[in-house]
Amino acid sequence: MNLFNLRDFQDVALEKLDPVYYDYFAGGAQDEVTVQANEAAFRRLSLVPRVLRGAGRPELGGALLGQATSMPVLLAPTAFHRLAHPAGEVETARAAAEAGVIMMAAMLSTVAVEEVAATGATLWFQLYLQPDLGFTESLVRRAEEAGCKALVVTVDSPALGRNERGDRNDFHDLPAGMSCPNLRGDGDVGQVVLSPEFSWRHVDWLRGITSLPIVLKGILHPADAALAVEHGAAAVIVSNHGGRQLDTMPPTIDRLPLIADAVRGQVPLLLDGGVRRGTDVIKALALGAQAVAIGRPVMWGLSVAGAAGVAKVLSLLRAELVNALTICGVAAPGEVPRDLVVP
């Protein structure tokens, strides 16, 4: 593939995807201010490398919540992969397994979690808590039995964001023959139910029914990050849902230092939103993250060339990260100093 960076993949995906599906993946809430701000915020930050460090070639491997990963990059949970490729999440998972990175499998997957797990990829299962707690528990049991290593609870969605691209395209249902098999419990639940009734007591309830680590995704306020630690979260993902929920939320990279100060190293921090370059990964590591997650670039890779496209996206990001760490004089992701980044 004659593609040289993650944005190249987006350009090709624009040509290959049905325009309605492209808009679904690319779009965000209302004016999409936050979508654009996530990427722009990384560009505002500068790297100040150290020289003559004798650091050698960087080693990217490590572990998150006890799971090995070949680099500090995960696949963020994204819905409806079969809109981008006929095999959907299976192709994505194959690429994750090949690359040795963790995939957060979405509750709104178009392939059942059991089938995704059969690829051998290391999976965390993303979960929207449902008002029917019995059904929620049945999903947790399926994730456990499939071998998922953590639960990623999306906490920033008491209601669905207003996506005007989707409204203009009248895209509100999956095409015929496509479904979300994770939503089939004892009956056939066809829709995720979002509710403003959820609170920290539901996090406590979830901790009481599973031994899996619970990762809370969608935290932007330092006080909420501190509460997450108090309520037993194993990790926190600093996320604004890729700008898809509430428009004009601040970029995640701008919030990361505040949340890192609030958490004080008690649990790992991850970040998603706007990561498009290896230099973006370094900036997140410097400001307090242990790893980042990418969402839209995975969908661009999937739509361009299936598993090979996702693998290429990850390979490009890996090469950029190695190059940037080398030039900055840093031997490993965990050794990136905070003063490497300046406004």
Q: Which residues are catalytic?
A: 241
Q: Are the C-beta atoms of 237 and 272 separated by less than 8 Å?
A: yes
Task: Write the DSSP assignment of 37-96 as a string of letters.
Answer: HHHHHHHH-EE----S----S----EEETTEEESSSEEEPP-S-GGGT-TTTHHHHHHHH
Which token pair is 251? 């970029």
Helix (H, G, I), strand (E, B) or coil at 206: helix
Residue 207: Cβ-neighbour burial (10 angstroms; 0-12, 13-18, 19+): middle
Residue 48: Cβ-neighbour burial (10 angstroms; 0-12, 13-18, 19+): exposed
Determine the straight-line distance between the first and last CA of the chain, rounded to whole angstroms.
35
214 phi/psi in degrees, rounded to 5:
-110, 120
Q: How far apart are CA 76 and CA 240, in angstroms?
A: 12
Q: How far apart are CA 89 and CA 82, in angstroms?
A: 7
The half-sphere exposure of 328 on its side-chain side, counting CA atoms within 13 A, is 28
Q: Are the C-beta atoms of 244 and 252 separated by less than 8 Å?
A: no
Q: How far apart are CA 221 and CA 224, in angstroms?
A: 5
The half-sphere exposure of 74 on its side-chain side, counting CA atoms within 13 A, is 31
Which token pair is 26? 């690319």
